[in-house]
Amino acid sequence: MKSIITVCLVLLLITCVSCQNDKDNFEIEEGTYQGVFYRFNPESSNETANVTLTLSNNEFEGTSDAWRYPLICEGSYKLTGREITFTNTCGPWTADFDWTLILNNKFEVERIGDKLILTLNYNYGHYDRYELEIAQ
Protein backbone atom coordinates (compact mmCIF):
# COMPACT_ATOMS: atom_id res chain seq x y z
CA MET A 1 0.00 0.00 0.00
CA LYS A 2 2.86 2.36 0.85
CA SER A 3 4.41 1.80 -2.57
CA ILE A 4 1.14 2.73 -4.33
CA ILE A 5 0.90 5.95 -2.33
CA THR A 6 4.57 6.71 -3.04
CA VAL A 7 4.09 6.14 -6.77
CA CYS A 8 0.99 8.37 -6.79
CA LEU A 9 2.84 11.15 -4.96
CA VAL A 10 5.79 10.94 -7.37
CA LEU A 11 3.44 11.11 -10.39
CA LEU A 12 1.64 14.10 -8.85
CA LEU A 13 4.96 15.87 -8.27
CA ILE A 14 6.09 15.21 -11.86
CA THR A 15 2.78 16.54 -13.17
CA CYS A 16 3.07 19.73 -11.09
CA VAL A 17 6.67 20.33 -12.19
CA SER A 18 5.85 19.78 -15.87
CA CYS A 19 2.90 22.21 -15.64
CA GLN A 20 5.21 24.81 -14.09
CA ASN A 21 7.76 24.26 -16.85
CA ASP A 22 5.07 24.80 -19.51
CA LYS A 23 4.24 28.13 -17.89
CA ASP A 24 7.88 29.20 -17.76
CA ASN A 25 8.68 28.14 -21.33
CA PHE A 26 5.91 29.93 -23.25
CA GLU A 27 7.22 31.03 -26.63
CA ILE A 28 5.95 33.52 -29.17
CA GLU A 29 6.73 33.01 -32.83
CA GLU A 30 8.52 36.02 -34.31
CA GLY A 31 6.87 37.63 -37.30
CA THR A 32 4.09 40.00 -38.28
CA TYR A 33 0.74 39.62 -36.54
CA GLN A 34 -2.57 41.13 -37.58
CA GLY A 35 -5.73 41.36 -35.56
CA VAL A 36 -7.78 43.62 -33.36
CA PHE A 37 -7.33 45.73 -30.25
CA TYR A 38 -10.10 46.75 -27.90
CA ARG A 39 -10.43 48.24 -24.44
CA PHE A 40 -13.19 46.50 -22.53
CA ASN A 41 -15.20 48.71 -20.22
CA PRO A 42 -18.45 47.23 -18.86
CA GLU A 43 -20.04 50.69 -18.64
CA SER A 44 -19.55 51.81 -22.25
CA SER A 45 -19.31 50.74 -25.86
CA ASN A 46 -16.05 49.10 -26.76
CA GLU A 47 -14.41 50.32 -29.95
CA THR A 48 -12.29 47.89 -31.95
CA ALA A 49 -9.23 48.82 -34.02
CA ASN A 50 -7.41 46.75 -36.63
CA VAL A 51 -3.75 46.44 -35.68
CA THR A 52 -0.49 45.09 -37.04
CA LEU A 53 2.32 44.11 -34.67
CA THR A 54 5.74 42.84 -35.77
CA LEU A 55 7.94 41.00 -33.25
CA SER A 56 11.58 40.33 -34.12
CA ASN A 57 14.77 39.97 -32.05
CA ASN A 58 13.03 41.26 -28.89
CA GLU A 59 11.93 44.41 -30.71
CA PHE A 60 8.46 45.40 -31.86
CA GLU A 61 6.79 47.86 -34.19
CA GLY A 62 3.22 48.27 -35.23
CA THR A 63 0.32 50.34 -36.40
CA SER A 64 -3.39 50.77 -35.88
CA ASP A 65 -6.09 51.88 -38.31
CA ALA A 66 -7.50 54.20 -35.61
CA TRP A 67 -5.77 57.40 -34.51
CA ARG A 68 -3.88 56.65 -31.26
CA TYR A 69 -6.15 53.70 -30.46
CA PRO A 70 -3.89 52.07 -29.54
CA LEU A 71 -0.59 53.81 -30.14
CA ILE A 72 1.82 50.96 -30.89
CA CYS A 73 4.83 52.67 -32.54
CA GLU A 74 8.07 50.75 -31.72
CA GLY A 75 10.35 49.57 -28.95
CA SER A 76 11.53 46.41 -27.22
CA TYR A 77 9.78 43.54 -25.52
CA LYS A 78 10.69 40.84 -23.03
CA LEU A 79 8.85 37.56 -22.58
CA THR A 80 8.94 36.11 -19.05
CA GLY A 81 6.80 33.05 -18.43
CA ARG A 82 3.33 33.97 -19.62
CA GLU A 83 3.90 37.71 -19.47
CA ILE A 84 5.25 40.04 -22.12
CA THR A 85 6.55 43.48 -21.18
CA PHE A 86 6.64 46.17 -23.86
CA THR A 87 8.93 49.21 -23.56
CA ASN A 88 7.96 51.85 -26.09
CA THR A 89 10.81 54.03 -27.38
CA CYS A 90 8.73 56.55 -29.35
CA GLY A 91 7.96 59.98 -28.06
CA PRO A 92 7.94 62.54 -26.69
CA TRP A 93 4.18 62.34 -26.34
CA THR A 94 1.73 65.21 -26.31
CA ALA A 95 -0.87 65.52 -23.57
CA ASP A 96 -3.90 65.42 -25.87
CA PHE A 97 -4.69 61.69 -25.57
CA ASP A 98 -4.88 58.83 -23.08
CA TRP A 99 -1.32 57.61 -22.50
CA THR A 100 -2.56 54.25 -21.23
CA LEU A 101 -3.26 53.48 -24.90
CA ILE A 102 0.50 53.46 -25.64
CA LEU A 103 1.83 49.91 -25.97
CA ASN A 104 4.14 50.21 -22.96
CA ASN A 105 3.19 47.78 -20.22
CA LYS A 106 3.09 44.17 -19.00
CA PHE A 107 0.49 41.91 -20.64
CA GLU A 108 -0.63 38.37 -19.89
CA VAL A 109 -0.03 36.09 -22.90
CA GLU A 110 -2.11 33.11 -23.97
CA ARG A 111 -2.73 31.15 -27.12
CA ILE A 112 -6.24 30.12 -28.11
CA GLY A 113 -6.12 28.08 -31.31
CA ASP A 114 -4.19 30.15 -33.85
CA LYS A 115 -4.75 33.39 -31.91
CA LEU A 116 -2.18 35.07 -29.72
CA ILE A 117 -4.04 36.94 -26.96
CA LEU A 118 -2.36 39.77 -25.02
CA THR A 119 -4.36 41.10 -22.06
CA LEU A 120 -3.68 43.98 -19.69
CA ASN A 121 -6.10 43.89 -16.74
CA TYR A 122 -7.21 47.03 -14.93
CA ASN A 123 -9.54 47.39 -11.95
CA TYR A 124 -13.26 46.60 -11.94
CA GLY A 125 -13.33 44.30 -14.97
CA HIS A 126 -11.66 46.73 -17.37
CA TYR A 127 -8.94 45.43 -19.67
CA ASP A 128 -7.05 46.03 -22.91
CA ARG A 129 -6.80 43.11 -25.30
CA TYR A 130 -4.95 42.35 -28.50
CA GLU A 131 -6.27 39.33 -30.44
CA LEU A 132 -3.65 38.55 -33.08
CA GLU A 133 -2.84 35.95 -35.73
CA ILE A 134 0.39 35.52 -37.63
CA ALA A 135 0.07 37.19 -41.05
CA GLN A 136 0.15 34.87 -44.05
User: The domain that contains 108 carries what CATH number?
Assistant: 2.40.128.280
**The predicted structure's pLDDT at residue 6:** 54
The pLDDT of residue 24 is 60
Residue of 94, 59, 64 lying closest to 77 (CA atoms)? 59
In terms of pTM, does the model score above 0.75? yes
Domain count, the chain: 1
Residue 34 forms part of a structural domain: yes
Per-residue pLDDT tens for 67-112? 999 999 999 999 999 999 999 999 898 999 999 999 999 999 999 9
Assigned domain for 90 exists: yes
Work out the end-to-end distance of the chain between its first and last CA atoms, rounded to an integer number of angstroms: 56
pLDDT tens by residue, 5-36: 554 454 455 555 444 444 567 889 999 999 99
Report if residue 109 sits inside a domain: yes
Whether 20 maps to a domain, the answer reads: no
The mean per-residue pLDDT over the stretch 46-62 comes to 97
Domain extent at residue 65: 28-134
